[in-house]
Structure 1
C-alpha cells in the first residue's frame, strides 16, 4: 500500500460534516473470584470518521469521487484534516528523541543526544499525560523552539531540517569531532581529535561511522558520558570482547536538560474504509445537489522507523 502525501481529503467536506470516534483495544478477563484482569493491546489510539453525510453541491462531491478513484478505494492512504483536533498549541507540542526502530526514548520534550526528534502532541488530564506522535505536519505551520529560542532551518550547528511527511525535526550537531582511538570494555573509552565544546559528565555523545565487529553496539546511538579526561570520554556502553576500529565521529546533539517544543497544524494519515461510494442527486436551481451516503475513513498506523 502506498501513501500519497500530496493528497488531502477535501476540507470543505470534512469541515462541514465529519463525525468521528476514538478506538482502543483492551482485553478483559474475569477471575473466578470476580476480579477483572485488563491487558492493553493497543497503547495508541486509532481514529475513524464518517464524512459527507449532508447534501453537497455536485462540484464538491466530485472532489471526493476523484480522490476515491486515484487512491483505488481502500488501497492507498492520504491526509485528512480533522476539524476537531488539528492544532498543536503552546504547551502541547514537544519534541521527543526516537531510536532506529521509531520508538520514543528519553523524556518527551527533552533531548537524548540524538539528531532526530519526533513531533509529539501532549494530551493532559489532571497530572497525567498521553503523548501522540504526529507523522503528518502541515507545511508552513511548524515553529520549533529550543530553550525558548526559535529553531532555524539550515545547515549550521544547532540548526534543523523539518520533514512534514514524517513529523521529524533533525538537528545539525552542536559540535562534531573525529574519533581517533577506541578502548573496548565494560565501559568504552572514545578519544576524539579535539574535546567536544560544552560536553559534561551526564551528557550523551552520538557516535557514527566507527568500524569493526562491535560497531553495531555504538553506531547510530547516543551514550552517557561517565568520565572526561581531555578529549577522551568514558561512555556507559559495554563493548567487552568486541573489536571497534577508530573512524567516524562523536557529536553533541540536544541533551536532556534542553526544553524542546513546537507549535503546528497537522493532518491524520487515513484511508477509505469502503470500496463503494453511494449517493443520490436532485436539481437545486442551477446546481445539482448530491446527498451522499456514508463515507467511512479509518486512521492508518504508520511505521515510524528512522
Structure 2
C-alpha cells in the first residue's frame, strides 16, 4: 500500500495559509568565540499552516473528509504552494527554457525535473517529483519540443524522450508543480461559529520526501 496519494488538497481549503522553508543548522560556539556551522540537510523542508479562517460549514466538512481520507499523518498528498508552484516567477507563465535539467549524451532518454534556487556555487537544486499534468514544456538545445516527443511521469517528475538528446545538447524544462506534504497531526478541530460557518483549528502540513 502506497504511503502517498496523488490527490491535491483543494485550493479553497487552503485560503489564508502561511508557510515557508525550514532549514536545520547545527551551530557550535568555540572557546575562541568563533562559530562552527553545519547542516545535515541538503534540501530545505517546507511547512504550512492552513484552516485558521472562518469558512463555510461545507468547506470545513470537506477539509475533515480530506483529512480522514489521508488517515491523518499516514498518507502524503499534493499541496499547491501559492508562493512557489512554477518553474518561473509566480506571476509568469512557465516556458520550456526556465530550468536546466541535464545535458544529452546521445543515449540517455530520461531526465528528472528540478528547480534551481540562486546562482553559481551556492545554488540549490530542488528535485521536482510532482509536476502538474499538462503543464510540462521541454526544449533540447533551445528547440521547444511538441508533447508527442516526450512523456512525463507526474508521480515521479521523470521526463522520458522518444529519441535521446544529442551529446552536449542542453535539456531544459518549464512546468507547474505541487509540493508533496502530509498532515503533521493526527487530530483536527472544528468550532461551529454559526449555523452555516465554522472555524478549523490551525492544521499543520509538512513536506515529505518522495
Q: TM-score, normalised by structure 1?
A: 0.61
Structure 2, unmatched stretches of 5+, are 89-94
1:79 positional shift: 0.3
Task: Give matches, 1:147-186, under 5 Å.
Answer: 147-154=141-148, 159-174=149-164
Aligned alpha-carbon RMSD (Å): 2.0
Give every structure 1 segment of 4 or more consecutive aligned residues whose post-TM-superposition deviation is greater than 3 Å: 125-128
1:192 matched residue in structure 2? none
1:126 positional shift: 8.2
The answer to whether residue 171 in structure 2 is matched with residue 260 in structure 1 is yes
Hey, what's the Cα distance between the residues in 1 that align with 2:60 and 2:80?
17
1:95 matched residue in structure 2? 101
Of 115, 119, 129 in structure 1, the residue corresponding to residue 123 of structure 2 is 129
Deviations along 1:138-195, one digit per CA (max 9) or x if unpaired, are 00111111122222344xxxx3221111111012344xxxxxxxxxxxxxxxxxxxxx
Question: Which of structures 1 and 2 has the bigger CA Rg?
Answer: 1
Hey, what's the Cα distance between the residues in 2 that align with 1:296 and 1:136?
20
1:81 matched residue in structure 2? 80
1:111 matched residue in structure 2? 104
1:211 matched residue in structure 2? none
Name the CA shift for 1:86/1:125 in 2 (closer, same or farther; >3 Å). same
> Does the 8 A contact of 2:115 with 2:127 survive in 1?
yes
Hey, what's the Cα distance between the residues in 2 that align with 1:73 and 1:127?
40
Q: TM-score, normalised by structure 2?
A: 0.87
Structure with greater strand share of residues: 1
Name the CA shift for 1:171/1:271 in 2 (closer, same or farther; >3 Å). same
Report the secondary structure of 1:88's partner residue.
coil
Hey, what's the Cα distance between the residues in 2 that align with 1:272 and 1:301?
14
> Does the 8 A contact of 1:92 with 1:122 survive in 2?
no
